[in-house]
Structure formats: structure tokens, C-alpha cells
């Protein structure tokens, strides 16, 4: 069935979409994506994020197509899902900002923590898992600089790499650790202080 033919009856289109018609899906995407994008952009103020949320919205429509009610306004349904996606986006952003403050790995000197401290099993698990996700050289540089407290100059001579390379490894490693914690252990981390987390990093990784 061609899109031009389907334009005659949107109720039929919704039934077709609900049944898995890609043609019907394309029709509704073409019809609504620009106005939805404008609404999302107005809410998030960043074009790239608005584009990502728009794709998430239509992906959710396709994945949950069996929930579509042909008797209800599809436009209102799209806007409602869009609002939920934006709310989820800001909730996630708020969590990331909170964790970023607790896990400001780029600015913390881990070597300053002593070896006596709270032995929190959950924290040890988080740290070990996060560090183990790093590529080998990132792990090495991160441990030398952040755990052992070596200077860039010392690490540069030891590994025969430039200061710029060390800085890149530290930055990327810190980012990956934070992302891992946010994704997999947000519930645990929000209940513990940054002090405990950083001290356990110093104690458990050598």
C-alpha cells in the first residue's frame, strides 16, 4: 500500500502501524517529526540533544506500537511520549551532575588519602569493576598518577609517552569510570560519600 493511498484514512494508518507497517510508520514520521523536533528543541535548548530525543521518541513508538489506540489522538500521544522522554533526560542529567560532583576524579589527589578507612564492600566492588573496564594503558596511567601519586614527568619517563598522552589517558579514564558508576551503580553511589569512594580507590587498586 502506498503512502498516498494511506493518507486518505489515518485511522487505517494507525491500525497498520500497530500491526507493524513500516510504510505507516514512515508516514507518521514524515508528518510529525519537524513539529516534534521544534517542541523538543524548545524544551532542551540544544539541537543535537533534541535530535537524539526525537530518534528515541520514534524508536519508542515503533517498539511499543502494539500499545497504540487508534481511537485516541495520535498527535497527543506523540507529544505525551515526547514530554516523558524530556523528563527522563533531565532526571538523568541531574543524576550525572550529582555523581560528577562526587566523582570529580580529575581534581582529586588520591595519594593524599591514608590507608586506614571504612572498609565498604560495595565501594570496593564499584571501584574494581569501573577500573577493570579501562583499556590496559589507561589503567596503568590512571593508577600511576591517581593511585600512586606519580608526576606526569615520572610517568612520561617510565612509560615513554608524552605529557599530552598522559593527560588524554587520565581524562578519558576518569570519564569512563564516572560513566560506568552512573550507569551501573547509581543507587549505591548516591548513598555514600565521595570521601569513602576515593579512599577505597586508594586502598583497593595497586
Q: Is the pTM of this model over 0.75?
A: no
When pLDDT is cut at 50, 70 and 90, the band that residue 6 belongs to is very low
Backbone phi, psi, residue 156, to 5°: -60, -45
CA atoms within 13 Å, Cβ hemisphere of 199 = 14
Q: What is the pLDDT of residues 103-140, one digit of tens each?
A: 555 554 444 433 444 444 665 677 778 888 899 999 89
For 19-145, where are the alpha helices, taking DSSP H only? 22-44, 47-63, 74-102, 121-132, 136-142
Over the range 134-172, which residues count as b (16 or more CB within 10 Å of their CB) and which as e? beeebbbbbbbbbbeebebeebbeeeebeeebbeebbee
What pLDDT is recorded for position 45?
82
Domains of the chain: 3-100 (1.10.1740.10), 105-204 (1.10.10.10)
pLDDT tens digits for range 147-189: 788 888 999 999 998 888 888 888 888 878 777 766 765 554 4
Q: Which of 20-29, 50-59, 83-92, 102-111 has the lowest mean pLDDT?
A: 102-111
- Rounded distance between C-alpha atoms, residue 170 and residue 18, angstroms: 48
Amino acid at each position: 500500500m502506498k503512502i498516498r493511498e494511506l493518507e486518505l484514512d489515518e485511522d487505517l494508518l494507525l491500525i497498520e502501524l500497530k500491526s507493524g507497517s513500516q510504510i505507516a510508520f514512515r508516514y507518521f514520521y514524515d508528518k510529525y517529526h519537524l513539529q516534534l523536533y521544534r517542541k523538543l528543541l524548545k524544551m532542551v535548548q540544544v539541537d543535537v540533544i533534541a535530535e537524539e530525543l526525537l530518534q528515541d521518541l520514534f524508536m519508542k513508538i515503533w517498539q511499543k506500537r502494539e500499545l497504540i489506540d487508534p481511537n485516541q489522538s495520535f498527535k497527543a500521544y506523540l507529544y505525551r511520549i515526547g514530554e516523558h522522554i524530556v523528563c527522563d533526560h533531565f532526571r538523568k542529567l541531574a543524576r550525572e551532575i550529582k555523581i560528577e560532583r562526587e566523582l570529580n576524579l580529575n581534581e582529586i589527589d588520591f595519594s593524599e588519602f591514608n590507608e586506614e578507612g571504612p572498609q565498604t564492600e560495595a565501594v570496593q566492588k564499584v571501584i574494581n569493576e569501573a577500573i577493570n573496564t579501562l583499556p590496559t594503558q589507561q589503567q596503568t596511567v590512571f593508577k600511576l598518577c591517581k593511585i600512586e601519586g606519580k608526576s606526569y614527568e615520572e610517568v612520561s619517563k617510565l612509560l615513554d609517552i608524552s605529557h599530552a598522552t598522559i593527560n588524554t589517558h587520565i581524562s578519558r579514564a576518569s570519564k569512563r569510570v564516572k560513566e560506568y558508576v552512573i550507569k551501573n551503580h547509581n543507587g549505591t553511589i548516591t548513598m555514600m560519600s565521595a570521601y569513602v569512594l576515593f579512599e577505597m580507590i586508594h586502598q583497593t587498586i595497586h
